Amino acid sequence: MLEIEVYSRTFYLFCILYFCAVCSGLSPFPKLLVVSTDGFRHDYLHHVPTPNLHLLMKEGVHAPWMKNVFVTKTLPNHFSIMTGLYAESHGIVGNEMFDPVLNKSFSGENTPEWWDNGHVMPILLANQLEDGSRVSGEMMWPGGDSLIRNMKPFYNAAFNASVSFKERVDIVISWLINEKFPANCIFLYFQEPDHTGHIFGPNSPEIREKIKLVDSTIGYLIKKLKEAQLYELLNLIILSDHGMTEVADGNLIEMDSILDPSLYHVSSGSPVWNIRPVDAGKLDNIYNTLKKASKTNHFKVYKKEEIPDGYHYKNNRRIMPILVEADEGWLLMHNRSKFTGKKGSHGYNNSLRSMHPLFIARGPAFKVNFTVKPFNNVDLYPLMCHLLDIHIWPSNGSLENVLPMLDIRYDKPVCFSYFNPFVIGILAILVISVSGILIGAAVLTLSKRNKVTTVDVNLETVLPKSKEGLSSKDELKQLLMEGSEDEM
């Protein structure tokens, strides 16, 4: 009988643990949260007190800076982080661009013709493809809501500047702890300090306030993750897409004084212009004029085939026949009347330190208080596949470059799924064996007794009432979007 009691207790303990896991509202899969704070230059966190970012550095790993992709603009880099591909490979070669096959210009549309070139596999979608019960979410991530391979992340929130940073955190947490569809991989985006950096410059008092805002939002995120019992379970990455440099008064390159504007089209914004001659036969004339002017001006010019290989910005039809690249701190524009007076800019060469963004990571996979050597942002893709324990899709990144930041004890995360055959098999064996023992014990006990005791159980009082079901993802999304706190 003692054996039976031990088996029974083990069985009940197993059941309790299992149901605790199921009912906890957390995904059973490895959890990853990537936060991008746009235009957060690698050294900003030393400009003002940033206790929360420093706490994460102390508890995790950080790089002095991270190398981003050319051009150092928002859309190409956010898509590179998501796909592990250089701009020439994923096809988002600028915030604006022209596609000669589509014969269209792009300015941020999320349609597949721009984002889905047939071989991109954003990590959020790779996560969902790995297992039907994995759930991804994107909170305003640039390009995150694009339809690729006819898929989108399960949770989507299109960019809306009126939703405060804290509200975004609240919604993301609600996705992570959602009882029906808990997310295990989320990308979260904040548009500062980039916006303020453009207007006031990277050394302004105004941008310091935004750096503090980002830091306090990270503090709020840490608090919420702790409350949700997620802080120790989840791998958290805080990064940015690019840096920012000062634009001194008068650092304008007035292209109309160099080249007749009726001779060409420009399909991307300063400081890198993609130039397409109106008359293809005049390509050499245009190039020669620009080349001569570049000797006395602050820019470089390349024919498409001359662009250095290291730019990884050549082999794509959306890169135009001539590329003009302004020197650091200089702006390209047709003429001075177009100048809006901005004090900060980015998009310059990705070898410039001022263009390099922030990287911090903390969680069970990462070492503690560790400084990792700078690496390429495309290396994050294989790293994230590894962290999520999914198939590593082809990319331009290298896992080898980022492995030193990982705690070796987290070499291969154990992926526990309620639905995997192993768990179901173990449960079935336990249920059958314990039931057999219990039935045997019951028969033995009954044979010793004359009287049978019955207990009436009102199942309605024992079984928990099921939660209100949500009929569609839209309803769920609507519910999650409801209720907001203070504005920031």
CB of 374 to Zn ion, least distance (A): 21
User: Which CB atom, from 60 or from 344, has the smaller least distance to Zn ion?
Assistant: 344
- Residue 431: name the closest of 1, 18, 2 by CA: 18
User: Which CB atom, from 88 or from 194, has the smaller least distance to Zn ion?
Assistant: 194
CB of 462 to Zn ion, least distance (A): 58
User: Which CB atom, from 246 or from 389, has the smaller least distance to Zn ion?
Assistant: 246
CB of 142 to Zn ion, least distance (A): 11
Which helix (H) or strand (E) covers residue 188, if one does?
A: strand 185-190
Residue whose Cβ sits closest to Zn ion: 194
Of these residues, 37, 50, 74, 217, which one is catalytic? 74
- How many residues touch Zn ion under the rule CB under 5 A: the total is 1
Question: CA separation (Å) from 94 to 149, 267, 314, 320, 348?
Answer: 22, 9, 13, 12, 12
Residues 158-197 that bind Zn ion (CB under 5 A): 194
Q: Is 445 one of the annotated active-site residues of the chain?
A: no
Q: Are 40 and 211 in contact (CB under 8 A)?
A: yes
Region for 378 from its dihedrals, namely left if φ exceeds 0, alpha if ψ lies in -120 to 50, beta otherwise: alpha
- Exposure of 99 by Cβ count < 10 A (0-12 exposed, 13-18 middle, 19+ buried)? middle
Q: Would you tell me the crossing angle of helices 74-83 and 123-130 to the nearest 10 degrees?
A: 30
The answer to whether residue 328 forms part of the interface with Zn ion (CB under 5 A) is no
Q: Are 68 and 80 in contact (CB under 8 A)?
A: yes
- DSSP secondary structure string, 335-369? -GGG----SEE----TTSGGG-B-EEEESTTB-SS
User: Which CB atom, from 122 or from 271, has the smaller least distance to Zn ion?
Assistant: 271
Residue keyed to tokens 């001779």:
263
CB of 349 to Zn ion, least distance (A): 16
Q: Which residues contact 180 (CB under 8 A, 6 or more apart)?
A: 470, 476
Give CA–CA dist 57/355, Å, rounded: 21
CB of 95 to Zn ion, least distance (A): 8
Which of the 8 DSSP states describes residue 11? H
User: Which CB atom, from 93 or from 125, has the smaller least distance to Zn ion?
Assistant: 93
For residues 221 to 260, the per-residue mask of contacts with Zn ion, x marking binding by CB under 5 A and - elsewhere, is ----------------------------------------
User: Which CB atom, from 277 or from 347, has the smaller least distance to Zn ion?
Assistant: 347
Return the sign of the alpha-carbon dihedral for residues 270, 276, 277, 278: negative
CB of 161 to Zn ion, least distance (A): 14
What is the contact surface with Zn ion in residues (CB under 5 A)? Answer: 194
Which residues are identified as catalytic?
74
